[in-house]
Structure 1
């Protein structure tokens, strides 16, 4: 082969982006265009269909209501010049008509969603599904607060089979017979990881008769009736639609109660229709950068080396019912990953009845600098991150409020430099980080050298329960071959039964070994170490607890009143150079434990009190390693995500961009005016958020006469006659405004 030709061939092979094409998408575009910046496509899917390896799709500001199926490898989808881009699983609902079912209730046609239930949004903000009692707040996971839409209830066995289950709400009265017939009962009773659900057969005064959906309820499982079946519950039903902001879907229609005096036809209302915004199945080297996903999720089955960065995924999964209670990907939703070396970085992931991220398999998937919050409103074995993958990495991320677990893993995972707090808001008997051998009580689970290090794990509680309120930082039951070191763990306390715990090991009926706990600081917990030697068939080998500070008020021992023979296991654990005798407020050890400052005080007994551990205490100050997570003279590393959720808002984003598609106009400010037409209020927003505080405007009539001026972002035009007006923003951009 000619040397020049050969060299050119090699150049082209290793520089496949040399002839890459940039495509552009805009709300103002047309799929019959050529996809240039001056002639953009209208849909992202159009670009995805024609792109070749190495191509980039730049997306202009606005909302794109579509599911994007990617069928080519090595592509990039990116927002253009930091403009705000949303891909939504919700579609606009229009043509609202007054409904005859109640005052100030409107209805519109709705064909239904791909998910079991839908979600309704006004200006992309979630509205509340009609329920009794009303949720008067935005809080979804505080059932003990009467304003959050839960009431005291009790479930009963009535007869065999799923029919005829009985529920009593002491405060449910004053409604006609069968007022809630056909609705959904959801309870948090008994073992608070089961959560009974059912379809209401009849209602009469304070009682419901229910057909059980939950298997344990239908089979009279004793787990359902722990503490006499008492707990919390609510009812979803169209007849519960009685406050502004509520909605319900039924029989091909969606019903909505707007604020008093508002016409929903003047509002931007959408309902969730699609499960997914991006489908990246069987793809390699796909980058999704700077994209916000709303009311939808991402599918990544057999997906490798893909990156989802610098964006958000919110309102992933709506309400759902299910028969079982164990982990389920298909029923519980979430971002689905099954592949190798995929990266989620700089992402805000929040607001879901189900999971956050579900890693179903693959190797070395990574979650870095993500903020995952408000996950698992349904609670049934939901996780902010559920991991079945091998070698998963979770680092420098923040995991906030969750109905149940922060991280639940069945395989090797490294969890480092994270901030984890406020788990277990909707249940009991679980913890922030959990791994368990499950029903294989005699077969230990190999975590393959997993590392849990340099994390803050703190401030977690459970629902109040007179029987059991077990909440743990580390629920590593029947697991072996892992290391836990240099973690700050504090404020695991429960309300009635003192059950807040540092670590539970099991092993139940298994033999666990090679578990290492070094240099952790554990404070303000009810329990230290807990084990369960079930039927005296559990055993431990080479379990080391060295250099740890553990609250002196915390006991060690069993997890069950029926299995107190645990001393044989505790005696086999290796305890070395730990500090366990410090009580009170910790001032003898720490700078300020009450404020989460666990740096060591001068002359603390922890200084130089530890044992050297290769690879763990390397680089210590002084004559020997210190005890605890922080060496004297040092500070704990910065942990958690640097993402501020307050910086992320979808509420003011329009479907229609007002930016010109002409390349000479691309530097202009991205001003949006909506709704337009309107009969009352119009709003102004600057999508880039760079100069929102500098906006000023002038409203004139067709003759140029000035009517109003101002700087407020909301303009009341209700007093104007019907007609056409001109709104000039920042003296440079003029919009035609229609008063209808």
Structure 2
């Protein structure tokens, strides 16, 4: 019995770090144990000091692994987890019911971590003889920064089987992620890497840069990461010379290197291993090299070895509360319902450095990680609340399926590969995303895409009361809340969001940075009562390219907007722009496409906010935006004036606030 459950728990990946509480689950069709009996079910206990052969029924006789709880619990049962680090993937044997859910909870005051890594030991200092051996396959290794670092006694190595794919290797020193050796050295901030740009003379698949001073042939076979406009891509260097590299294919989607605007980085060469916090992995020799200023044995060095902390893909009516995740995540499945994740603290949820995944054009280059990274909630009527999620190559949260919820979460430092992954990637339909605080993301804070779910009647999404900042760090043509392309959104509401202070990685161009961006023909949206500042294109941007911007209601927003491709006859029928405050760009001729504008405060009129310098955009007593709005029930109720106000705050009404409420 012990062998059976253990082998299953080791199949999948897992990592956690947080606080323990109690969990309830009934042992249906399981031999009776001494588990403590509650009114609704049994309570089991887990602790690092426990034994899986114990009965798990008291805090004095706990199981050793959470998986042991998962094997015996049934509807109504609870698993209470003591402080500690648990190196496992938990795969529940059964689900709870709506009336009697199963619960996994951190014990009161406990710090519980599900860990997705394996420690690395047996480090030895790399010597000149080692460099001579390495140079047989890489003749540039000796006369390189790596060779100099070996002479300085800074390079160590150990044997490690991390798999054949270097692009999924993730290494940590003392619980902080190290970076793969590359040029230019990116630094330690994943969302603010040092960037290098293709220089004059670059074209098609060739990057020209005077900073490429390594010898001819040095970069042959290296991996290349490129980024331009909204496209990031990965490929290989076919040939290299002093001052240039030529890729095997031009960057996807754009099919060209754009001088001064294509950013790039090169990796996969041991010669660049010469900075603290960097590593190089040789999958053929199964050897990991690190740069360390002292003995690595004095530190905790780990490599990611599991993807999931909890595999809930076949599970329903289950609660996971107060749990921490490290280098792993949680995933539900298409049939999951009634799953609650509460108070999850997750760090380093997902990792990869290959974006294109073999695609020959845009394909996964844009969408890599959108559907399957971060905390993935698939199915129906599942929710994640009160959680703190950080560091992910892809999403913080992916909402798939229908009628799922993300509320009161704090999410930051995600999408560090700069694709359409986001703080929260919203797919499916009928999803609710409210009161989240999202900051420091590669592209969008929220990426809203529309999909139907087989067998279920679609409905509108609600994206409201979110505070989003620090977006556009690694991509352009982007927004705090981005939605695309040519979908009819059934009245989905984007309302009462505060969208501010984007941080574009480049100052060469800042095209397309807005608070909310309805791109390429998104229609039937309600965009109301949003506030933005620091956005080049304003709080709202409508792009009618494609099927047109139809039946959108843009009401009572503060911070201005931009209109694209809405002027051709029939291109913007049914779209109404009422009661907004701020400059509207692209206004000339917009009504020719069917757009209706009314009661927007003219750009030349000062709205007289309470304190615009401190981003208090309520209306002062003297504001000309008072008492001038078109009444829109459910949109601009609450003003103490006879008529509604313009902008996002009704005069005299209590000020609404956005972001996580904790």
Aligned with residue 340 of structure 1, among 368, 376, 380: 380
Aligned with residue 527 of structure 2, among 484, 489, 510: 484
Alignment CA distance shift 1:466-1:255 (3 Å): closer
Report how far residue 196 of structure 1 moved. 3.6
Please identify, of 312-321 and 457-466, the stretch whose mean Cα deviation from structure 2 is larger: 457-466
- 2:60 counterpart of 1:38: yes
Distance 2:258 2:217 in 1: 28
Q: CA contact under 8 A between 1:419 and 1:455: conserved in structure 2?
A: yes
Q: CA contact under 8 A between 2:261 and 2:508: conserved in structure 1?
A: no
Query: Secondary structure at 1:606's aligned position in 2?
Result: coil
Aligned with residue 73 of structure 1, among 95, 99, 107: 95
Structure 1, residues 180-216: CA drift from partner, whole Å, max 9, x if none?
Answer: 4443221224xx222242223454433234334xxx6
Report how far residue 76 of structure 1 moved. 0.9
Corresponding residue number in structure 1 for 2:12? none
Number of aligned pairs? 577
Distance 1:112 1:156 in 2: 39
Alignment CA distance shift 1:616-1:217 (3 Å): closer
What TM-score, normalized by structure 2, do the two folds share? Answer: 0.81
Corresponding residue number in structure 2 for 1:421? 469
Aligned with residue 47 of structure 2, among 9, 26, 42: 26
Alignment CA distance shift 1:28-1:69 (3 Å): same
Alignment of 1:281-430 (within 5 A): 281-302=313-334, 303-321=336-354, 322=356, 323=359, 324=363, 325-329=365-369, 333-360=373-400, 362-411=401-450, 412-430=460-478
Aligned with residue 47 of structure 1, among 55, 59, 69: 69
Distance 2:495 2:576 in 1: 16
Structure 1, residues 98-119: CA drift from partner, whole Å, max 9, x if none?
Answer: 2234232111222215984221
Distance 1:87 1:372 in 2: 19
Q: CA contact under 8 A between 2:639 and 2:652: conserved in structure 1?
A: no
- 2:94 counterpart of 1:64: no
Alignment CA distance shift 1:464-1:123 (3 Å): closer
Alignment of 1:169-208 (within 5 A): 169-173=209-213, 175-189=214-228, 192-208=229-245
Structure 1, residues 265-317: CA drift from partner, whole Å, max 9, x if none?
Answer: 22111111111111001211111100011111111112111011112121122
Distance 2:117 2:368 in 1: 24
Corresponding residue number in structure 2 for 1:657? none
Distance 1:195 1:638 in 2: 35
Please identify, of 312-321 and 467-476, the stretch whose mean Cα deviation from structure 2 is larger: 467-476
Distance 2:200 2:342 in 1: 45
Corresponding residue number in structure 1 for 2:197? 152
Report how far residue 222 of structure 1 moved. 4.8
Corresponding residue number in structure 1 for 2:553? 516
Aligned with residue 276 of structure 2, among 241, 244, 253: 244
Report how far residue 31 of structure 1 moved. 1.8
Q: CA contact under 8 A between 1:33 and 1:41: conserved in structure 2?
A: yes
Corresponding residue number in structure 1 for 2:592? 568
Q: CA contact under 8 A between 1:93 and 1:269: conserved in structure 2?
A: yes
Distance 1:330 1:547 in 2: 35
Corresponding residue number in structure 1 for 2:288? 254
Aligned with residue 459 of structure 1, among 501, 504, 510: 501
Report how far residue 73 of structure 1 moved. 0.8
Aligned with residue 161 of structure 2, among 105, 108, 111: 111
Alignment CA distance shift 1:134-1:466 (3 Å): closer
Corresponding residue number in structure 2 for 1:555? 585
- 2:661 counterpart of 1:618: no
Distance 2:282 2:545 in 1: 48
Distance 1:114 1:414 in 2: 42
- 2:607 counterpart of 1:594: no
Distance 1:363 1:511 in 2: 26
Distance 1:222 1:108 in 2: 41
Distance 2:493 2:262 in 1: 40
What TM-score, normalized by structure 1, do the two folds share? Answer: 0.73
Structure 1, residues 202-248: CA drift from partner, whole Å, max 9, x if none?
Answer: 54433234334xxx637xx6553345764343434322111222112
Query: Secondary structure at 1:457's aligned position in 2?
Result: strand
Query: Secondary structure at 2:93's aligned position in 1?
Result: coil
Distance 1:364 1:153 in 2: 45
Alignment of 1:617-696 (within 5 A): 617-642=636-661
Q: Which has the larger radius of gyration?
A: 1
Tell me which protein shows more strand as a share of its residues. Answer: 1
Distance 1:612 1:86 in 2: 52
Report how far residue 512 of structure 1 moved. 4.4
Structure 1, residues 12-62: CA drift from partner, whole Å, max 9, x if none?
Answer: 9xxx97462211111222222222311222211122112222211111112
Q: CA contact under 8 A between 1:87 and 1:293: conserved in structure 2?
A: yes
Distance 1:70 1:578 in 2: 55
Runs of at least 5 residues in structure 1 that lack an aligned partner in the other structure: 1-11, 143-147, 160-164, 438-443, 494-499, 559-564, 644-740
Query: Secondary structure at 2:532's aligned position in 1?
Result: strand
Report how far residue 511 of structure 1 moved. 4.8
Report how far residue 626 of structure 1 moved. 1.3
Alignment of 1:210-249 (within 5 A): 210-212=247-249, 217=251, 222-227=254-259, 230-249=262-281
Corresponding residue number in structure 2 for 1:86? 113
Distance 1:41 1:177 in 2: 60
Report how far residue 503 of structure 1 moved. 2.7
Corresponding residue number in structure 2 for 1:503? 540
Query: Secondary structure at 1:541's aligned position in 2?
Result: coil
Query: Secondary structure at 2:263's aligned position in 1?
Result: strand
Alignment CA distance shift 1:81-1:547 (3 Å): same
